[in-house]
Amino acid sequence: MRDRVEDPRLLKGAPVRQRILDEVAAYIEAQPKIGKLVSISIGDVPEVAVYVRNQARVARGVGMPFDQEFWGADVTQEECKTRLQAMNDDPSILGVILQRPVPDHLNVRSLQSAIHPLKDVEGMNPASIGNIIYNDVALAPCTAAAAVELVRATGLPLEGLEVVMVGHSEIVGKPAAMMLMAEGATVTVCHHMTRSVAMHSRRADVVVVAVGKAHLIGADMIKPGAVVIDIGINQTSDGIVGDVDTDAVLNVAGWVTPVPGGVGPVTVAILMRNATVAHQRQIAAGWLDQSAK
């Protein structure tokens, strides 16, 4: 593997992340008061603990109050929904983060639906995702929004761009495609039943990939100068790699996000930005009294 550290074609997430977090910190500093984010972990999942620690660290860095709740793996669906409803009604809670995965006996989609859309800082409530169809993308799923933010970071105008989205999951592929359409891009969505992904990707100005297959996208599938956004995270014998063969694609593309270090760092920053949007909308809805610190 070549030394890619200084390659100018690498579209790194750190500068984009820092810009967003600086904006969030300035917003929070200007508020007379702001509620807390509450992270909910159900059961003991070591991978989740890593995500929570990262979210808590970033929240502290921007001045956002952050609490953690740990619910036992034997909690019932109804108990979860009752607790979430109480959080919806608590004015001291700005937003709720439901960590995934959850135990098998719980319906995660139903739990996400139980979080009020104005407290859905992850953008996972079906109402939040549905709003994207109407070009309301301010509370979109964080990973999808991070991918779009990185496309913007290239400086290319999104209007009229030919984009191919490889992967059509409900929480990344589909919302990312709809967000890019909202920006004026022409979007083709490829999935496991697409006959020839390469036929589509080779004509694209932007290729966004989120399927969970290591090095699925090679250099022969990319148009020279294209933007390649790699959302995949795959554990291999060589370590963590993305869905794109980055070293090979760097020889062809104009921009490629590295894995790790690309979309991932931006995702938590989007979560914090979503929290500021939720705060503004809660004020507009008359939920919050901002008269005192």
| Cα angle 250-254-255, degrees, rounded to a multiple of 5 | 75
Q: Where in the chain is the domain with CATH 3.40.50.10860?
A: 21-126+266-284
SS3 166: strand
Task: Point out the residues of the chain with pLDDT beneath 50.
Answer: 1-2, 292-293
pLDDT in tens, 126-165: 999 999 999 999 999 999 999 999 999 999 999 999 999 9
Contact by Cβ (8 Å): 24, 62? yes
pLDDT for residue 13 = 98
Dihedral sign of CA atoms 173, 112, 106, 40 in order: positive
pLDDT for residue 289 = 74
Q: Where in the chain is the domain with CATH 3.40.50.720?
A: 134-262
pLDDT for residue 2 = 47
pLDDT for residue 4 = 59
Q: Which CATH architecture has domain 134-262?
A: 3-Layer(aba) Sandwich (3.40)
Backbone angles phi, psi at 159, to 5 degrees: -60, 120
Contact by Cβ (8 Å): 292, 33? yes
DSSP H helical ranges for 91-186: 108-114, 126-131, 142-153, 173-182
Contact by Cβ (8 Å): 230, 243? yes
21-126+266-284 has CATH 3.40.50.10860 classification? yes
Q: Which residues pair with 10 in a beta bridge?
A: 256
| 95, two tokens | 């937003």
**Which one, of 289, 257, 245, 263, lies nearest residue 33 by Cα?**
289
Q: Which residues pair with 230 in a beta bridge?
A: 209
Contact by Cβ (8 Å): 102, 108? yes
How long a stretch of residues is the chain? 293
